[in-house]
Structure 1
Amino acid sequence: MTTPPAALVNKNKKHFLGVPAPLGYVAGVGRGATGFTTRSDIGPARDANDVSDDRHAPPAAKRPKKKEEEEEDKDDEDLNDSNYDEFSGYGGSLFAKDPYDKDDAEADAIYESIDKRMDEKRKEYREKRLKLELERYRQERPKIQQQFSDLKRDLVNVSEDEWRSVPDVGDARNRKQRNPRAEKFTPLPDSVLSRNLGGDTSSSIDPNSGLASMMPGVSTPGMLTPTGDMDLRKIGQARNTLMNVKLSQVSDSVTGQTVVDPKGYLTDLQSMIPTYGGDINDIKKARLLLKSVRETNPNHPPAWIASARLEEVTGKIQAARNLIMKGCETNLQSEDLWLEAARLQPPDTAKAVIAQAARHIPTSVRIWIKAADLETEIKAKRRVYRKALEHIPNSVRLWKAAVELENPDDARILLSRAVECCPTAVELWLALAKLETYDNARKVLNKARENVPTDKSIWVTAAKLEEAHGNHHMVERIIDRALTSLSANGVEINREHWFKEAIESEKSGHIHCCRAIVKSIIAYGIEPEDQKHTWMEDAENCITQGAYECARTVYNHALTTFASKKSIWLRAAYLEKNHGTRDSLEGLLQRAVAHCPKSEVLWLMGAKSKWLAGDVPAARGILSLAFQANPNSEEIWLAAVKLESENNEYERARRLLAKARGSAPTPRVMMKSAKLEWALNNLDAALNLLDEALKVFPDFPKLWMMMGQIYEQKQEVSKAFDAYNSGIKKCPNSIPLWLLLSRLEEKRGLLTKARSVLERARLKNPKNDILWLEAIRVEIRAGMKDIAMPMIAKALQECPDSGYLWAESIFLENRPQRKAKSVDALKKCEHDPHVLLAVSKLFWSERKITKCREWFQRTLKIEPDLGDAWAYWYRFEQLHGTPEQQAEVKQRCLAAEPHHGELWCSISKNIKNWCYSTEQILLATTKEVPIPV
């Protein structure tokens, strides 16, 4: 091996070798070493001249022991348990040889007192924690006794027969009893039987034979015959005697009935259930506290009541009764104590207690009512109440309770006396008025007004009395006098309270009374500038509470003040339409058009009401009057055309449209003219009308759409393409035009051109969810789902709040991911009807019938005009619902009259279905509904 060169040796040499250590350096500190200081660093701790200390070991002791000496010490050490001390260890500690003097005892006592005090500080917390841990442990692992406590309570319901039929429980530890085996019997030989039972009349067994082993106790002397054999007859008698002894132990010697009562035994089990589950120490503390309160202030009834209830809770009912009776003796005038005593006592004793209470406190209403409640017979209750009224004649509560128990004739006599004793009790006056005849009732109410001039219920009752007897003209007069009289007596007239009286009067059937109240109070305290707003709120409040007659009265009064307000007429008309009759609606509309002849809606509502009733000539008459008032109204012209076309009067409809084009050539009139010809299959005439209309209104997109669709129907695709293209140039913001052009390209098989059309449309109309949805569906119809998925993600980035896109994205996912996608959709569009409809379809696909029905209802509550939701729900009920549920859905749909929805509009706007009613559209749309999968 060669020696390395010197340069290499110098290169490997460490740089710190031979260099002095830095200040504070400790060798091996990186490996856990610590610095220390020795005596050599700071010098000796003692001076050389100091006196030596005997406490230090001699120098020889500092000498390290040899190995042999250490082993010898270990052998000498006594490790016996008797040599162990908790404080000193084995063989004593370093201070074991020192004497235990007074200072040591004092120090130990101080330490012990400190430990005891610290332990007391932690005692409450420790005990509380142990108690919680024990309760938690018992909850997790209850005792068997606790687990079967409810079953023990149920033993009360076990009948005597069931108790007898309970089988005996064997020893579960005995394997032979747990798994019994069939007994084996070995028949005796015939020789044994013939030897022992030789004759037919023999009744003994030879004790030396094998049969004797089968009879225990056969060696008893009384069982042997004189010949030494066993007597079978005496064995049977002994058995009977033993059975009689056992029966006599559990039977009554007089009646022969069994002493063991199984039902009473079960009742005793019920009584063993603890009634209070708290700590016994808490009960003792409560007893001591309450006893201190009673002794300190024996005239304090709540202390006695609390003490009695404490004993009652702990199950000592007799102690509770004794306490409460002692309290009653101390506080004879406390009705609370007497009532509590009556509650704690059994019924018979309670009567005596209450009778004693009534003697001491004869003016206590509560005690007399308790006394009546304790009676079981009506006659006895009446006697108690009459006795009470002798002592307390001015108690309204007692009079009312007494009257309720009487028949009408006696009640009237009692009430006549009651109003004399309690002249300010309005309830008694009104009750007496109800029982009297008409004339006497008027007199009673007049007396009541004299005694109580500040109560409005007396006046209202008088008004209802007059209405009930046909005096309708008196009702308004009484209500007016009521307001005047109450104001004169300083009573504040509160509109809300009077409106409540009016609503209650209507609900009780007093229509004239409610009208009179509303008429009298409606303008009370209202400034002229606030009248319209306040009255509309009053009417809405009445409608909300179902008081339609009150609302009708409010509207009538408002219309007399604001006869030319169209909004009030419309509200009143909608009230009659929803909650009135057809005659009332038509009468109101006739008045409305007389005051507001320029309101087209009122004319149209009147005409529609006549038309729905089947009176087409009357509807025409209303529309002709509407023409005179509004000669150039587009709505009235189109309503007249619809009326004629719906009734198959096509020539009259054409003439009306021709007149309309001459007097009011609007785009809608032109469109309706072309649509009528298109519906009647006059395609050329329709195209001519459209050409004429487009020269005047080229920016009306529906004209271009109709032209393209007519050319498509005529199979002239190129002309349809030109019509759509021309329409897009004139109306670039019309989304339906772009969709029609794209679908036309798709029908021609030009998928690339359809995509380019939609791309151009999105450039012209950015952030439009309908265009994105159509582009995605184009890819889906072409079978390119892998292109549609990233496209819908991009669409949702551009239109994050689009319900159309979120609804489509749910069913684009695979089945396992649809639920998560629906949750995301609901977070973004919680109240969007299309998302809710998609979730409903998702539940339908999972066959969750109840949830699906709930989500359909939620969808239509948000948007009842969505026809697709009605169609899907009706189809769902056809498959999974009852005929009643199907009929309900159909009726609700007809009431809502929906107009929107992709599938719904594809049926309703098809020119072939132009005469379809809402029901027909619903049925046709339902057939097109796909079942979600």
Structure 2
Amino acid sequence: MASNNKPNKLAFLSMPAPASYVAGLGRGASGFTTRSDIGPAREGPSAEVIAEAQARRGEEPEVDPDQFQDPDNEYGLFAGTAYEQDDEEADKIYEAVDQAMDARRKAHREAQEQQQVAKHRAERPKIQQQFADLKRGLSAVTDEEWESIPEVGNLTKRKRPKYERSYAVSDSILVGDRSRGEYENSLDSMQQQSGGLVTPADSGPTNFVEIGQARDKILSLKLDQVSGTSTSSGLSTSVDPKGYLTSLNSVILKSDAEIGDIKRARMLFDSLIKSNPKHAPGWIAAARLEEHAGRMVAARKLIKQGCEQCPKSEDVWLEAARLHNNDDAKVIFANAVQHVGQSVKIWLAAADLEHDGKAKRRVLRKALEHIPNSVRLWKETVNLETAASDARVLLSRAVEVIPLSVELWLALAQLETLDKAKAVLNKARKAIPTSHEIWIAAGRLLEQEASLMGTDKTGAEKKKALDMVDKTIEAGVRELRRHGVLLTREQWLKEAEKCETQGSVLTSEAIVKATIAMDVEEEDRLDTWIDDAEGALSRNMVGTARSVLAYALKVFPDKKNLWIRAAGLEKAHGTSQSLDAILSEAVKHCPQVEVLWLMAAKERWLAGNVEGARDILASAFDANKESEKIWLAAVKLEAENGHLDVARELLIRARTTADTERIWMKSATFERQQGQLDAALETIATALKKFPKFAKLYMIQGQIHQSQNNFTTARASFAAGYKACPKEPTLWILASRLEEADGKSIKARALLDKARQVNPSNELLWAEAVGVEERSGGPAQAKAMLARGLQDCPTSGLLWTMSIWLEPRPQRKTRALDALKKSNDNPMIICTVARLFWAERKIEKARQWFQRAVPPRPDDSVDTGADIGDLWGWWLKFERQHGTEEQREEVRVKCVAAEPHHGIVWQAVAKDIKNNGKSTKEILEMVADVLQ
């Protein structure tokens, strides 16, 4: 019963499908055809059936977007309506709005798009862009070049992989190889029966003599083979027994990397010469590669092929000659001139191969037959001629063949006599009217003629000959300008310097006279000519600089600076006569300039001409009756030469005529130097009534009283002085030293404090205060005072020098470095650094820093280290200990030329009454002795 109640599954499968059933509809696979349905396949359900099924299932049908479309209107619902004017205006307004909105971002958008496109093209350029320039260059390729392009061969040279094959090794080989290194340590049956080893010696006695002879014979045969002297075989090797070791030393061992590079380069060059056999540099490079690799035979073979392929290239022939010996090179050049007979290099190289002068001349003359217009060949041929007549003949022929060569004309003129040389230069001038060298050569020729004139010629004739030089150069400049040759003023000055270098001073001067005023504005002439003279002097062209200054003095005869520069030039590079002549002309044109009179008088005095110096000063008095400097110069001249009464009389006249404070001061100093202290005090008393504000009068008065140990009167003199002249620090310092000498250090400090209040930021007062503290209070108080002084005068070289030496030895270098930075390389600090190197025994460095401390003064108005005498004293003291006599003399000469006037020790020594009349050199020696 139970079994009868169970449902029958097979009956369900045989039931017909529902009317709404669509196979695969739930999976979205409706209406498809499978491979089994290819035959009697049925159609899928229609759209109505699918819609009915979806409705029964509760699914919403899909909405057709075109269901509301007007069937009569293909484009839209309102397409059939009339398009009126207001619709057009509305469309235009909307379009204008769209365009305006689009234009606001158009520039930014287009720039961004162009930037992206450019970036993309830069990262991934097209092939046609990469080869665009080459494609444009193909338009210049001719048909012959196109036809000569070789076919592209297979240059990849790929090698097929080699497959290694393995084989099985037999057992007998393995066993034999295993027992190869073993030793037999047992006897076989025959040896056991005989009782021992059987050797060949058992057959008879050993002959050691024959063995030794055989060994010697073998060794001799080997040695004979090596030395190439074997007679048994009749053959000889290529080994040189004498140069064998030398050749071994010359062998270059190449590494594996270099050998690989050579192989790769050889492959590249081989490809190059095969693809382009007419390219001469490729053959040369390939031959040099083989030469570098040591394969000379291959190199010669390659260059020979290069000569065959490129017979018109002179470089290939020259390389071939270089790679061969001398005899073979001659043959190569003989073949070369058949192909490149117009090559000057080939002919010159062929001439260099000849060691005989005649053979060289023969080769060069053969070359001139082929290339008669080569200036170089003519010059080489002329240089080989030993006789001047033969060279003259060759040059005559050369200028006929090459009339436009200036060098050949000038060379011919040098070989001719003076008269014939003039004719040659005239012909050259006509042949080459645009050459300035010919005109300059003509001027030099006239100068040479004037210098060769004998004593039978009068001065007028010589002057006329010299004037011809100026006229010739002027005519040359004029003719060149007429033919359109416009050399600049700088080029003419270079030609003048060139003539001076060659010894033609007058020609150089003539060039300067004719061209110095070219292309210069009238208001800029003076500055321009001064710059020209200084530039010539910097190049050591003294004659050119002298000529420039002489021309400038003719144009500006009343310029004091020009005369001073000219006098300085003659003093440094001229003679005493030329200097005296310049100064004599200077005082004639500038009679009111006192400096020129004083320079003229001083130079005559230094030259030993005292009477001439007196004459100069007498003339100076006539032109400048009230000149203080001229009166004092005359007094000094007479006093230095021992004429004291004349000097005193001149001072009395000067006080009457000039009546200046300096003349009164010099009068008192003169009386003091002569020991007439009462007369000196009387003169000072009279002078103070006239000039109560002149500080030096109070100084001299106080020093005279102090030398007489009259401290009270001296104190009163100094007090009156710094009350009348409170801005003069020297008066305060002298008053302080007077109190210190009298044992009143406290009063000395008070005076210096008061002086610093009146004269703030004065390094001399601070230095004196430091000295007072060091002498009375000790180093600690001196250091404190110095620190205050550096705060008030942070750039003072004097205070920084004192600060460096107050520091302990290990800290002095650091202190000196700070001083150099803060004092802007003060000369006193530089000298201190030199002394530090001196203390460390660094002699050369110390000498260099001493030289830096005393550079020459560029102008009299500029004070540098050269004007500080203490620096010269330290340098001389250093050279006394570590230098030679020549180096010490160099310091003395430079010091005398610099004429220093400042320095604490220098002024103390120079102004001492005992050292009156001492020269600069003597004072320098005394300063070097005092310094410590």
Q: TM-score, normalising length from structure 1?
A: 0.71
Q: Which residue pairs with 1:323 in the alignment?
A: 302
Counterpart mapping for 1:62-141 below 5 A = none
Q: 1:885 to 1:300 in 2, by over 3 A?
A: same
What is the aligned partner in structure 2 of residue 230 from structure 1?
none
| Alignment partner, residue 687 of structure 2 | 693
Residue in structure 1 matched with residue 224 of structure 2 by the alignment: 252
- Within-5 A mapping of 1:869-880: 869-880=871-882
**Which residue does 1:928 correspond to in 2?**
930
Structure 2 letter corresponding to 1:438: L
2:879 counterpart letter in structure 1: E
Please give the alpha-carbon distance, in whole angstroms, between the structure 2 residues aligned to 1:612 and 1:271. 70
* 1:487-515: CA deviation from partner (whole Å, max 9, x where unpaired): 11111132222222222223322233222
3-state SS in 2 of match to 1:493: coil
Per-residue CA deviations over 1:267-320 (Å, capped at 9, x if unaligned) read 454344236895555444433333333222221222222222333333333333
Q: Which consecutive unaligned segments of at least 5 residues does structure 2 have?
A: 1-198, 451-464, 857-864
* Preserved contact between residue 834 and residue 846 of structure 2 (Cα < 8 Å): yes
- Residue equivalent to 2:68: none
Report whether the alignment pairs 1:894 with 2:896. Answer: yes
Deviations 1:796-851 (A, max 9, x none): 23322221122222221212222222222223335321011111111222222222
8 Å CA contact 1:276, 1:315 repeated in 2 = no
The AA in structure 1 aligned to 2:581 is G
Aligned-residue offset at 1:601: 0.9
- 2:440 matches 1:460: yes
Q: Secondary structure at the match of 2:726?
A: coil
Deviations 1:611-670 (A, max 9, x none): 222222332222122122111111111111111111122222222212222222222111
Describe the shift of the 1:672–1:427 C-alpha distance in structure 2 as closer, same or farther (beyond 3 A).
Answer: same
* CA shift for structure 1 position 759: 2.0
| The one of 252, 262, 265 aligned to 1:273 | 252
Q: CA–CA distance in 2 between the matches of 1:659 and 1:679?
A: 19
Cα 1:347–1:792, aligned 2, differ >3 Å: closer, same or farther? farther
- Pair 452,277 (structure 1): closer, same or farther in 2 beyond 3 Å: farther
The corresponding residue for 1:792 is 786
Kindly provide the amino acid, as one letter, of the partner of residue 626 in structure 1: A
Distance 1:573 1:240, change over 3 A: same
Q: CA offsets per residue over residues 668-690 of structure 1, 9 Å max, x none?
A: 11110110111111112111221
Aligned 1:66-465 pairs, distance under 5 A: 237=209, 241=213, 244-245=216-217, 247-248=219-220, 250-252=222-224, 264-274=243-253, 279-407=258-386, 408-465=388-445
- The Cα shift of 1:535 comes to 2.4
The 5-angstrom pairing of residues 857-868 of structure 1 reads 857-861=851-855, 863-868=865-870
Residue 350 of structure 1 deviates from its aligned partner by 2.3
- For residues 264 and 313 of structure 1, the distance between their equivalents in structure 2, rounded to whole angstroms, comes to 22
Q: What code does the residue aligned with 1:421 have?
A: V
**2:223 aligned counterpart, secondary structure:** coil
| Post-superposition CA distance 1:242-273 (Å, at most 9, x none) | 77357425432895899997865534543442
Q: How does 1:463-612 map to 2 (within 5 A)?
A: 463-470=443-450, 471-612=465-606
In 1, Cα distance between equivalents of 2:847 and 2:379: 52
Instruction: Give SS of 1:801's match.
Output: coil
User: How has the CA–CA distance of structure 1 residues 322 and 911 changed in structure 2, closer, same or farther, with 3 Å as cutoff?
Assistant: same
Cα 1:776/1:221, change in 2 over 3 Å: farther
Query: Are residue 628 (structure 1) and residue 622 (structure 2) matched?
Result: yes
Structure-1 separation of matches of 2:701 and 2:218: 113
Q: Structure 1 stretch 599-608 or stretch 774-783: which is displaced more?
A: 774-783
Question: Could you tell me which of 892, 916, 933 is aligned with 2:918?
Answer: 916
Distance of aligned partners of 1:310 and 1:256 in 2 relative to their CA distance in 1, 3 Å threshold: closer
Task: Output the CA distance in 2 between the equivalents of 1:367 and 1:277.
Answer: 39
Match of 2:715 among 710, 721, 726: 721
Counterpart CA distance in 2 for 1:314 and 1:784 is 82
Aligned amino acid, residue 924 of structure 2: L
Of residues 636, 660, 668, the one that matches 1:674 is: 668
**1:744 corresponds to which of 730, 733, 738:** 738
Contact in 1 for aligned 2:795/2:824 (Cα 8 Å): no
Contact 2:221 2:230 in 1 (8 A): no
Distance in 2 separating the partners of 1:468 and 1:597? 39
Consecutive unaligned residues of structure 1, counting only runs of 5 or more, are 1-216, 225-233
Distance in 1 between the 2:376 and 2:421 partners? Answer: 22
* Distance (whole Å) between structure 2 residues aligned to residue 716 and residue 774 of structure 1: 23
CA contact (8 A) 2:286 2:302 kept: yes
Q: In structure 1, give the amino acid aligned to 2:432.
A: V
**Deviation of residue 335 (structure 1)?**
1.2
Q: Distance in 2 between the 1:246 and 1:611 partners?
A: 101
Q: Give, as a single letter, the amino acid of the residue that structure 1 aligns with 2:783.
A: M
Instruction: Name the structure 2 match of 1:761.
Output: 755
Pairwise CA distance, 1:566: 2.2
The 2-side partners of 1:314 and 1:706 are apart by: 92
**Aligned-residue RMSD, C-alpha:** 2.7
Cα distance in 2 between the residues matched to 1:527 and 1:252: 92
Change beyond 3 A, Cα 1:447–1:564 = same
Classify 1:360/1:749 alpha carbon distance in 2 versus 1 (closer, same or farther; 3 Å).
same
Code of the residue aligned with 1:433 in structure 2: it is: A
Relative distance call for 1:221 and 1:664 in structure 2 (3 A) is farther
Give the TM-score taking structure 2 as reference length.
Answer: 0.71
- Provide closer, same or farther for how the CA distance between residues 797 and 351 of structure 1 changes in structure 2, counting only shifts above 3 A: farther
1:252 maps to a residue whose letter is D
- 1:519, 1:264 → 2: CA distance? 69
Which residue type is aligned with residue 298 of structure 1? P
1:715 to partner: Cα distance: 0.6
- The one-letter code sitting in structure 2 at the alignment partner of 1:688 is E
Do the aligned partners of residues 664 and 460 (structure 1) sit closer, same or farther apart at CA in structure 2, a change above 3 Å counting?
same
How far, CA to CA, are the matches of 2:266 and 2:501 in structure 1? Answer: 57
Structure 2 residue identity aligned to 1:926: A
Matching residue's letter, 2:719 = N
Identity of aligned residues (%): 50
CA distances 1:372-417 after superposition (whole Å, capped 9, x unpaired): 1222222222111111111000011111111111122221111111
Q: Which amino acid aligns with 1:424?
A: L
The equivalent residue for 2:825 is 831
**How far 1:433 sits from its partner (Å)?**
0.8
Q: Compare CA radii of gyration and give the structure with the larger one.
A: 2
The 8 Å contact of residues 908 and 914 in structure 1, kept in 2 or not, is answered as yes
Contact 1:275/1:313, CA 8 A, preserved across alignment? no
- Once residues 881 and 684 of structure 1 are traced to their aligned partners in structure 2, the CA distance between those partners, rounded to angstroms, is 48
- Contact 2:549 2:562 (C-alpha < 8 Å) held by counterparts: yes
For 1:26-45, list aligned pairs within 5 A: none
Other-structure match for 2:14: none
Change (3 A) 1:277 1:702: farther
- Farther-moved stretch of structure 1 (576-585 vs 270-279): 270-279
Contact between 2:287 and 2:298, CA under 8 Å: does it hold in 1?
A: yes
Deviation at 1:238, TM superposition (A): 6.7
Q: What is the identity, as a one-letter code, of the residue corresponding to 1:914?
A: N
Question: 1:357 and 1:617 mapped to 2: Cα distance?
Answer: 82
SS at match of 1:819: helix
Preserved contact between residue 276 and residue 313 of structure 1 (Cα < 8 Å): no
Contact 1:275 1:315 in 2 (8 A): no
Q: In structure 2, give the amino acid aligned to 1:337.
A: V
> For the residues of structure 1 that align with 2:648 and 2:849, how far apart are their CA atoms?
46
**In 1, Cα distance between equivalents of 2:404 and 2:292:** 44
1:117-156, Cα deviation, whole Å (9 max, x unpaired) = xxxxxxxxxxxxxxxxxxxxxxxxxxxxxxxxxxxxxxxx
